[in-house]
Amino acid sequence: MRGSVKEKAEYELSPVVVGDDVKVIVEELPPSESELRSGVITEVLPRRTHFAKKKTTLKKEREQIIAANIDQMIIVASVKDPPFRMRLIDRFVITAHQGGMTPVVVINKIDLKHTVDIERAKEIYRSVDIQLIFTSAPSLHGIEELRAVLHDKESVFVGQSGAGKSSLLNAIQPGLKLRTGKISDKSGKGKHTTTVVELFPLEFGGFVVDTPGLRALGLAQLDKWSVDQFYSEIFEASHGCRFSDCRHKNEPDCAVKKAVKEGSIFPERYNSYMKIFDDID
Ligand code: GDP
Ligand code: ZN
């Protein structure tokens, strides 16, 4: 890195990350060493999207950008084992929006006996224009659809541990060797404790981002505004509440609760919204 790029590291945790578009000056080497191409990064171009995690340094909480310019976040959940939790999916959706990525929700393990109402879930996510894919890693159900989504895009897989991210990636491209980040010691960080991030090429076009530590996290800091943006139907209804600081819980004349009762807001959306606010509190 050229000095001017390095200097940014003083106040920014991630001056250059995987996925960055950069300008480089390639060093001229004698033909005998032409295999050893080296160069200097002179400039990092503006990031279109970013994937960040919270990092606590010296008691200060800062955001560390892990990867840049990733097109989409593939949010993997399962119908059971671990149990289906819409609020967790929705938190990832908000994180994707915050980073400028397109969220895609994948609900895995549909081969198991479960109680998730698939048609209902489709209806809810369709109402907010989010693509929803149902998959089963062993039967390969939905895998073609998932491949089509990944085609020629840069994607990051997130979701609860055990939901089936590694299994799905292996179904998509057998032998795709991601470091599955097996938790192998008590620190819970796995063997490779450094956060080395890599882009893995897909044979049909596209890349998947991988880093051991990234699998389980990916939930960015939430603030009221970014939550309201995702629950736009609730935000809009809230203008009709009697109190401008209505929390849509027990306040009188709450337009949001009225809309839920009348059926113009899905109760599942309302519950997910309320739980996310409980989490923030
Ligand atoms: P990850 O932590 O999200 O990467 O999850 P894994 O891919 O390691 O999967 C966790 C467990 O769920 C493993 O025992 C998998 O064999 C199992 N599993 C993954 N996908 C499916 C699926 O679609 N159906 C069933 N029945 N089991 C699955
Ligand atoms: Zn209200």
| Mean residue pLDDT across the chain | 84
Measuring from atom 11 of ligand 1, which residue has the nearest CA?
162
Please check whether residue 263 lies inside any domain of the structure: yes
The model's pTM is 0.84
pLDDT of residue 58: 59
If asked whether residues 83 and 116 sit together in one domain, one would say yes
If asked whether residues 102 and 175 sit together in one domain, one would say yes
If asked whether residues 162 and 119 sit together in one domain, one would say yes
For 58-95, write each residue's pLDDT tens digit: 556 667 788 899 999 999 999 999 999 998 899 889 98
In angstroms, the CA 170 to CA 168 distance is 5
* Pairing assessment for the beta strands 72-78 and 102-108 based on DSSP bridges: parallel
CATH code of the domain covering residue 126: 3.40.50.300
Buried b vs exposed e over 180-211: b needs ≥16 C-beta within 10 Å?
ebeeeeeeeebeeeeeebebeebeeebbbbbb
If asked whether residues 190 and 235 sit together in one domain, one would say no
Measuring from atom 26 of ligand 1, which residue has the nearest CA?
109
Please check whether residue 53 lies inside any domain of the structure: no
For 40-64, write each residue's pLDDT tens digit: 899 999 999 988 876 655 556 667 7
pLDDT of residue 218: 47
If asked whether residues 185 and 70 sit together in one domain, one would say yes
Question: Given CA atoms 101, 104, 105, 106 in this order, what sign does their dihedral have?
Answer: negative
Please check whether residue 137 lies inside any domain of the structure: yes
Judged by its nearest atom, the ligand closest to the C-alpha of residue 255 is 2
What's the domain range around 40? 3-46
CA angle 191, 193, 194 (to 5 degrees): 135
44 ligand 1 Cβ < 6 A: no
Please check whether residue 23 lies inside any domain of the structure: yes
Closest CA to 4 of 23, 19, 20: 23
Domain boundary (210, 243, 262) is at 210
Please check whether residue 58 lies inside any domain of the structure: no
If asked whether residues 144 and 77 sit together in one domain, one would say yes
163 ligand 1 Cβ < 6 A: yes
Confidence of residue 125 (pLDDT cuts 50, 70, 90): very high
If asked whether residues 206 and 228 sit together in one domain, one would say no
Work out how many domains the chain is built from and give that number.
Answer: 3
Which residues are within 5 Å of ligand 2 (an ion), measured at CB? 241, 246, 248, 254, 256
